[in-house]
Structures are given as C-alpha cells and as structure tokens.
Structure 1
Amino acid sequence: MPKFNKLFLRQKQKEATEELADLNREMALKMIVLACDTGDIDPLIDAVQAMRSTEELYSQSSTPIENAHIQKKLGDVLLSVGKNEVDMRALEHAILAYRSAITIASLLGAEGLREDIRINYKEALRYAGQDEAPATFSLMGVA
C-alpha cells in the first residue's frame, strides 16, 4: 500500500509541475499582449522571467519547442525596443531571452532555429556593448 501512495504522489507532483509550467507560459503570453497594448516594456521583462522559471519545471526531453519560439519573440521585441530607444534594460532581457531560446533549441536538436537565434543574440550583445572584442595581433614578433 505505501508503494501505491508513493507512485500516486509522484504522479500528482508531475501533473502539478506540468500545470505550473503551462500557467507560466500562459502568463508570459498575456504579458506580451499587455506590453503591446500599453507600450510598456515591464510586462515583456516579466514575460522573460516567467518563461525562464518555466524552464526549471521541464526535463530536457519534455521541454516544448514552443518555449524557444516564445523566448525568441520576446528577445526580438526587446532587442527592437533596446535599439530604437537605447534602453539597456530591454537589451539585457533580450540577451536573457535569446540565451534561453538557444539552450532549448540546442537541447531539442533544432539547429536551424538555434542558428537564427544566435544571429539576433550576437546583435543584442553588440548593441549592449557586450560583444567580444575583435581579434588583436601581437606586436611581439614585429620588431
């Protein structure tokens, strides 16, 4: 009998975790709509955070690819705001959204999506001043 209870509780925990992840994703989508309606970036930043907390609830194999698409869209919008309004906070959260999207795409083997996201990620890094410095040449052998 105790083994049955343990299995039952594990199943209930799994169901609750899936429901929480779905609610976080739904909240992120509603925050995107709110941001569009108000023109404010705070709901977009909240959406990035909601999606990042959703990642913690999935295993590597059960993460839906839709999460990567949502994160990419969030990154795209925040990158656009960051570029047009020179908003560092928007750029920083665009970078976070892109990193999450790249991670999910990598885990699920969606290489085409991953490469598309990496292009925008690098652009966000460049606008935020976080891109890698260009390669330099050593002057040691010149003299």
Structure 2
Amino acid sequence: MALWSRVKESVQSFQTQLEAKKNDLKSGAFRDASMAMCALVAAADGVVEPSERQRVTQLIIGNDVLRNFPADDLQRRFDANLATLTADFQVGKVSVLQEIAKAKKKPAEARAVIQIGIVIGGADGTFDASEQAVVREACYALDLPPHEFDL
C-alpha cells in the first residue's frame, strides 16, 4: 500500500474514532490541549503560511468533535498558541507541550488529542516528518507510546 494511502486510511480511522467519543470530550483540558496540538502541527516546519493557518482554522471549525466548544473560543486559543510558537519556536514548543500535557489525566482525552494532531497533519494530503516529530513529542508529553499511533 502506498504511503499516502496508509496515511489517508489512518486519518479517516482516527476521525471516526474521535466522532465516536465526541460526548466524552468536553473538558477544558481537552479543548486547550487540542488547540495547542493544532498550533503545534501547523507550525511544525517552522513556517506558518496564511493559507495553512486558514486551512487549519477551517478544519478546527468543521471538526465535529470540536463543535462541543464555541468556535470563537477555539480560534482565540489556536491563535494564541500559534503566536507563542511563531515568536520563538523552540521556547514556544515547550509552552505548547505543557498545555498539551494537561490532557494526560484522562487517557481517552490524551489519545484524542494525538488523533486530532494526526488528522490536522494529514489533512493536506501529507503527514510530513516535521509534523510526525511534533506529534511524537506530544505523545511523550501525554505519556503515550508513539508506536500506538504508528509514529
């Protein structure tokens, strides 16, 4: 199976799993960690093009699981995390990973945050090495084994 086919299949599988857990994913920690994850994946390569920012924003707003939260609140949190990362990626990454780590108290939420990162990363047709690397780092922050997500 071609690499893209596997990535596409994983993204679809994770999105389906997220939708099945939608009613369990309503905490503030999940919301905050999810927006931190979205920003981390968007900034993974060190550059956030306006088109990429717009694409991730549309994915956030259109994600059925994230509809548990007001769209403007999600946007504000995503933008704040992105600003932290673009100011100084290495320092910002530490702060954003700490935000992500807040979801580790609830394993279902922690897994959902990683799944959201994979869905966001794979939405453009590629889940490149820099995106995989930051999602792998998030796994460690959440005390989850990266191999569980094929990372």
TM superposition score normalised by structure 1: 0.30
TM-score for both structures, normalised by structure 2:
0.29
Larger Rg: 1
> Comparing both chains, which one has the higher relative contact order based on Cα–Cα distances under 8 Å and sequence gaps of 6 or more?
2
